[in-house]
């Protein structure tokens, strides 16, 4: 999902007044991406089960493949709030998604005493976000690629970067379970997740407001200055943590 990420939000945010056809194109591209990811996950589920010698992986991956499909159809009109630097609704979406993940995960675990709670929670979060996004930013989904020209430049150069970053980010998770015990990998995974909390808590949430801010700076020299100031500020916060 990370490798095939499309910078649709970034492409829309730089356009002062996106048209309905642009929103329809963004929705269509995102839907195509989400469907492709879900189908790809289902196709590789069985080889993964054989690679890890665990038949439980096939149904588990198939169910989790619903999550990227749901994430792909969030209302593209949510970008209008980002352009206004109004992140209250995005915060509410994030809170509701995490709340749904927690409630469904814990509920299924208590009811079944099974790892399926994690899978159901992983699907419940993005499903909740998608449904609520259409209350915050209503639109009638339409299929169209008429405004592809506004997205193609960002999609091209972004893809190689996404592939390299994603492989770097996930390679340990893909390889270690094959060569170590599950308990050893579990300990590593917990430590790795804890180490990532400062970034997720302090740095990650800054990225979207900064993206909207940069899009409002027209002069290249001012963009460079703004970028350096933002980078310095993030380092001041993140480095000590």
User: For tokens 């020299």, what's the residue?
Assistant: 221
pLDDT tens digits, one per residue of 112-164:
999 999 999 999 999 999 999 999 999 988 898 888 887 777 766 677 777 78
Residue 218 has pLDDT above 80, yes or no: no
Spatial separation of the C-alpha atoms in residues 233 and 107, rounded to whole Å: 41
Which of 68, 63, 125 lies closest to 100, judged by CA?
Answer: 125
Question: Is residue 99 within 8 Å of residue 106, measured between CB atoms?
Answer: no
pLDDT tens digits for range 171-192:
888 788 888 888 898 899 889 8
DSSP string, 70-110: HHTTS-GGGHHHHHTT--HHHHHHHHHHHHHHHHHHHHHHH
CA 222 distance to own-chain centroid:
29
More confident residue, 111 or 164: 111
User: Which tokens is 239 given?
Assistant: 């480095």
Cα–Cα distance for residue pair 92/132, rounded to 1 Å: 9
Nearest to 27 by CA among 71, 93, 67: 71
- Alpha-carbon distance of 95 to 47, in angstroms, equals 35
H-run or E-run covering 222 = helix 220-238
pLDDT band at 58 (very low <50, low <70, confident <90, very high): very high
Average pLDDT value for the chain: 85
Nearest Cα to 27, choosing from 157, 177, 146, 199?
Answer: 146
């Amino acid at each position: 999902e990370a490798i095939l990420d499309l910078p649709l939000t970034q492409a829309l945010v730089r356009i002062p007044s996106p048209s309905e056809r642009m929103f329809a194109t963004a929705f269509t591209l995102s839907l195509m991406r989400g469907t492709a990811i879900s189908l790809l996950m289902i196709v590789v589920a069985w080889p993964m089960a054989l690679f890890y010698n665990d038949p439980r992986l096939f149904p588990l991956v198939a169910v989790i493949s619903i999550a990227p499909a749901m994430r792909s159809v969030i209302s593209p009109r949510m970008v209008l709030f980002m352009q206004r630097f109004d992140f209250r609704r995005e915060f509410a979406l994030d809170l509701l998604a995490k709340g749904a993940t927690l409630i469904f995960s814990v509920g299924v675990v208590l009811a079944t005493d099974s790892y399926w709670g994690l899978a159901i929670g992983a699907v419940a979060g993005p499903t909740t976000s998608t449904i609520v996004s259409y209350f915050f930013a209503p639109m009638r989904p339409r299929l169209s690629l008429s405004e592809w020209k506004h997205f193609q430049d960002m999609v091209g150069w972004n893809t190689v970067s996404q592939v390299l970053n994603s492989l770097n980010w996930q390679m340990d998770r893909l390889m270690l379970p094959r060569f170590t015990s599950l308990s050893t990998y579990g300990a590593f995974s917990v430590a790795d997740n804890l180490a990532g909390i400062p970034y997720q808590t302090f740095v990650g949430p800054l990225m979207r407001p900064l993206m909207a801010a940069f899009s409002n700076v027209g002069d290249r020299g001012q963009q460079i200055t703004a970028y350096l100031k933002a980078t310095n500020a993030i380092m001041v916060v993140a480095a000590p943590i």
